[in-house]
């Protein structure tokens, strides 16, 4: 598949105790809780079940900085970078966007902690636009974790795909230099995306970028596809009438699954961190 006018990077493979048991338990509990604007409230009878196979909600790469911050007492900052599906186009209110719902889910998991999820989505943006505002909107926040949603607008606008990889390479290098962890998020599974004959090429490019740049891809595309193939949900249950954007339930479920995913990965990192010797601690 042709990503653009430049050669593609080599593909290196398909991504496919003393620890914080409380965090692991909380992550599991989160994965079993119903989604909605109030996670503690019972969902209406006709609300779809928010679920996805664990193979689609498991991160392989470590998130060392985010794990350290979350395990401690310091404030935690996550920046959600992207376009309209990060901004929350199609949501009934700013509180129903995925970044807002993610913040609420994480605060419920870690009561009393200062956790911010900063929404840096701008309608219509491609990665080239995001790089223009990268220092102001992302680096200035000194994030512990950046969730970077990419690909959709480049695909829909028919633009060259190769700059997406180059922008990700540049942005991730800056974030690593500052000490932040990164998770990529790919496109939404929706009629408008599926109508583009080269949508599979964009999916492959994002997957290749994750492998080459050694960051995980939160596979939103496959998760939403599973809502159709696994739960047999029609698109109108989670996509707005424009055929592209997500509705409140979809944003809430996305946040719900993402919170479980990153906290489960964090629990793994905490469990691998040696506990300081008690005599030294004194």
Q: What is the mean pLDDT of each run of 10 residues along the chain (282 residues)?
A: 44 37 37 40 72 94 94 95 98 98 97 96 98 98 98 98 98 98 98 98 98 98 97 97 98 98 78 46 34
User: Which of 108, 88, 80 lies closest to 245, judged by CA?
Assistant: 88
Reduced to 3 states, what is the DSSP secondary structure of residue 119? strand
pLDDT, one tens digit per residue, over 74-122 is 999 999 999 999 999 999 999 999 999 999 999 999 999 999 999 999 9
pLDDT on residue 47:
86
Burial group, residue 192, by CB count within 10 angstroms (0-12, 13-18, 19+): middle
Residues 6 or more apart in contact with residue 5 via CB below 8 angstroms? 160, 162
Beta bridge partners of 173: none
The per-residue pLDDT for 43 is 55
pLDDT at residue 3 in the model: 52
**In which region does residue 130 sit, left (phi positive, over 0), alpha (psi from -120 to 50) or beta (all else)?**
alpha
The structure tokens 């479920």 sit at 253
d(CA 119, CA 207): 24
Residue 117, φ and ψ in degrees, nearest 5: -115, 110
Residue-wise pLDDT tens digits, 225-235: 999 999 999 99
Going by C-alpha positions, the residue among 52, 58, 31, 50 that lies closest to residue 223 is 52
CATH number of 21-37+47-272: 3.40.50.1110
Alpha carbon distance 101, 109 (integer Å): 12
Q: Where are the domains of the chain?
A: 21-37+47-272
What is the reported pLDDT for 274? 52
Give the tokens for residue 262. Answer: 């990153």
């Amino acid at each position: 598949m042709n990503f653009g006018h430049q050669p593609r990077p080599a593909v290196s493979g398909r991504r496919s105790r003393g620890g914080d048991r409380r965090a692991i338990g909380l992550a599991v509990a989160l994965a079993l809780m119903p989604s909605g604007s109030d996670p503690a409230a019972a969902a209406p009878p006709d609300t779809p079940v928010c679920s996805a196979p664990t193979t689609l909600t498991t991160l392989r790469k470590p998130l060392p900085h985010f794990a350290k911050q979350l395990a401690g007492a310091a404030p935690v900052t996550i920046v959600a970078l992207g376009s309209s599906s990060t901004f929350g186009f199609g949501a009934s209110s700013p509180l129903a966007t995925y970044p807002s719902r993610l913040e609420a889910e994480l605060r419920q998991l870690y009561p009393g902690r200062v956790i911010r999820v900063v929404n840096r989505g701008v309608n219509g943006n491609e990665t080239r636009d995001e790089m223009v505002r990268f220092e102001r909107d992302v680096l200035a926040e000194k994030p512990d974790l950046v969730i970077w949603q990419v690909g959709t607008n480049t695909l829909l606008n028919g633009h060259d795909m190769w700059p997406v990889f180059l922008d990700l390479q540049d942005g991730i290098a800056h974030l690593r230099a500052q000490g932040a962890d990164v998770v990529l998020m790919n496109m939404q599974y929706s009629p408008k995306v599926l109508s583009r004959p080269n949508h599979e090429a964009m999916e492959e490019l994002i997957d290749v970028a994750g492998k080459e740049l050694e960051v995980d891809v939160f596979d939103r595309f496959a998760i939403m596809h599973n809502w159709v193939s696994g739960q047999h949900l029609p698109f109108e249950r989670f996509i707005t009438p424009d055929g592209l954007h997500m509705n409140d339930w979809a944003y809430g479920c996305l946040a719900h699954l993402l919170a479980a995913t990153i906290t489960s990965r964090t629990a793994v990192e905490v469990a691998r961190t040696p506990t300081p010797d008690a005599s030294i601690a004194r």
